[in-house]
Amino acid sequence: MAMVSTYCPQFSGLRRSCPKLDNSQSQCFVQHINSQLRLSSSSRKPCRAVVAMAGSGKFFVGGNWKCNGTKDSITKLVSDLNSAKLESDVDVVVAPPFVYLDLVKASLTDRIEVSAQNSWVGKGGAFTGEISVEQIKDLGCKWVILGHSERRHIIGEDDQFIGKKAAYALSEGLGVIACIGELLEEREAGKTFDVCFQQLKAFADAVPSWDNIVIAYEPVWAIGTGKVATPEQAQEVHVALRDWLKKNVSEEVASKTRIIYGGSVNGGNCVELAKKEDIDGFLVGGASLKGPEFATIVNSVTAKKVAA
Ligand code: PGA
């Protein structure tokens, strides 16, 4: 899109200054600004509100329930989510354990999409214990989480295998929440960017299109530890990832692809994280098991809205 080539990051609070625009460029620039403006439906203030996002994608919040829950607790969680008041300007997705996907899909409001937590690398068949993309789709799920650190580091999935899974899921029409992130020792050794770029490259090498991918940056040291990355730490990596996409894929993909943060996000820290312009949402583990707290995290999108 021509619009992308005249992308002026400064408008939405990015680091670079805006180049001088000629006439046709300024027309595109205006279109771009319009696409960046989102009127706040919930705000009663008379002034307009602007979404401070470096990317152009809609805020995205996923709840990863992992290997938690029983029929009873999941029924309660679904009922809490069904009655929660959620801001409209957010894509909301939850990922229950496989065995409860059908139950959740059948009882959860259509406002919230359902994701699987993993999928088999190709077409289903004689693969004992695996769940195929076809089966996930058959239940009405729209997304799958791939490359989660618990699968990389506990189960031992490698970059190439994860890339193949992503390519297959996308080819069958599922959206992919593509997780990447460094271990504590890698951060301490100054390798955060190298590790994240390598994991991102494995996805980039495998997938034909980025239309249906959300990137989840999840530093492993922050997952389930209560040690959340500071907003500055997260923002620093998100900017670098967007720049990597710009240089290695395209400017359009860099702008459109949501880069969400995961790792000890909760109702208390989500607002400060959401204010960072390259943080396009969250992937939430522990706190997504509590309906009201998950709703608070979804609604942190309002922190993106600043008086114009
Ligand atoms: P956490 O998990 O929020 O419990 O840290 C995040 C994730 O693993 O996606």
**119 CA to middle of ligand 1, Å?**
19
pLDDT in tens, 262-305: 999 999 999 999 999 999 999 999 999 999 999 999 999 999 87
* pLDDT exceeds cutoff 90 at 51: no
Catalytic residues: 148, 218
The pTM score is 0.84
6-10, 31-35, 206-210 — most confident range: 206-210
Per-residue pLDDT, averaged over 8-12, amounts to: 29
Confidence at residue 307, expressed as pLDDT on a 0 to 100 scale = 37
Instruction: Specify the 3-state DSSP secondary structure of 299.
Output: helix
Per-residue pLDDT, averaged over 42-57, amounts to: 59
Question: What contacts 37, CB < 8 A, 6 or more positions away?
Answer: 48, 50, 51
Cβ of residue 278 lying under 6 Å from some atom of ligand 1: no
Confidence at residue 305, expressed as pLDDT on a 0 to 100 scale = 72
Lowest mean pLDDT among 13-27, 176-190, 244-258: 13-27
Confidence at residue 306, expressed as pLDDT on a 0 to 100 scale = 64
Kindly report the average pLDDT of the chain as a whole number.
87
Confidence at residue 37, expressed as pLDDT on a 0 to 100 scale = 35
Cβ of residue 285 lying under 6 Å from some atom of ligand 1: yes
Lowest mean pLDDT among 5-19, 36-50, 109-123, 285-299: 5-19
Cβ of residue 223 lying under 6 Å from some atom of ligand 1: yes
Would you give the end-to-end CA distance of the chain in angstroms? Answer: 27
* Higher-scoring residue by pLDDT: 149, 42: 149
> Is the sign of the CA dihedral 77, 82, 84, 90 positive or negative?
positive
Cβ of residue 293 lying under 6 Å from some atom of ligand 1: no
Question: What domains does the chain contain, in order, with CATH numbers?
Answer: 59-307 (3.20.20.70)
Cα separations (Å) of 166 from 11, 81, 244? 33, 28, 19
**268 CA to middle of ligand 1, Å?**
15
Confidence of residue 27 (pLDDT cuts 50, 70, 90): very low
Residue 62, φ and ψ in degrees, nearest 5: -115, 145
Ligand 1 atom index nearest CA of 225: 5
**8 CA to middle of ligand 1, Å?**
33
* Higher-scoring residue by pLDDT: 308, 206: 206
**211 CA to middle of ligand 1, Å?**
24
Lowest mean pLDDT among 6-15, 17-26, 294-303: 6-15
* pLDDT exceeds cutoff 90 at 12: no
Angle between helices 231-248 and 192-206 (to 10 degrees): 40
Contact between residue 196 and residue 240 where contact means Cβ atoms under 8 Å apart:
yes
* pLDDT exceeds cutoff 50 at 62: yes
* pLDDT exceeds cutoff 90 at 14: no
Ligand 1 atom index nearest CA of 149: 8
Confidence at residue 46, expressed as pLDDT on a 0 to 100 scale = 42
Cα separations (Å) of 34 from 11, 37, 162? 11, 5, 37
Contact between residue 65 and residue 95 where contact means Cβ atoms under 8 Å apart:
yes
Confidence at residue 304, expressed as pLDDT on a 0 to 100 scale = 83
The C-alpha atoms of residue 199 and residue 201 are separated, in whole angstroms, by 5
Per-residue pLDDT, averaged over 84-103, amounts to: 98
* pLDDT exceeds cutoff 70 at 5: no
pLDDT in tens, 157-198: 999 999 999 999 999 999 999 999 999 999 999 999 999 999
Contact between residue 78 and residue 107 where contact means Cβ atoms under 8 Å apart:
yes
Cβ of residue 218 lying under 6 Å from some atom of ligand 1: yes
Per-residue pLDDT, averaged over 35-51, amounts to: 41
Confidence at residue 235, expressed as pLDDT on a 0 to 100 scale = 97
Closest residue by Cα to atom 6, ligand 1, is 285
Cβ of residue 147 lying under 6 Å from some atom of ligand 1: no
Ligand 1 atom index nearest CA of 150: 8
Lowest mean pLDDT among 39-43, 100-104, 134-138: 39-43
Distance of CA 154 to the CA centre of its chain: 22
* pLDDT exceeds cutoff 90 at 2: no
The C-alpha atoms of residue 245 and residue 224 are separated, in whole angstroms, by 28
Confidence at residue 54, expressed as pLDDT on a 0 to 100 scale = 86
Q: How many CB atoms lie within 10 A of CB 224?
A: 13
What stretches of 98-230 show up as alpha helix (H) in DSSP? 101-107, 133-138, 149-150, 159-171, 184-188, 192-206
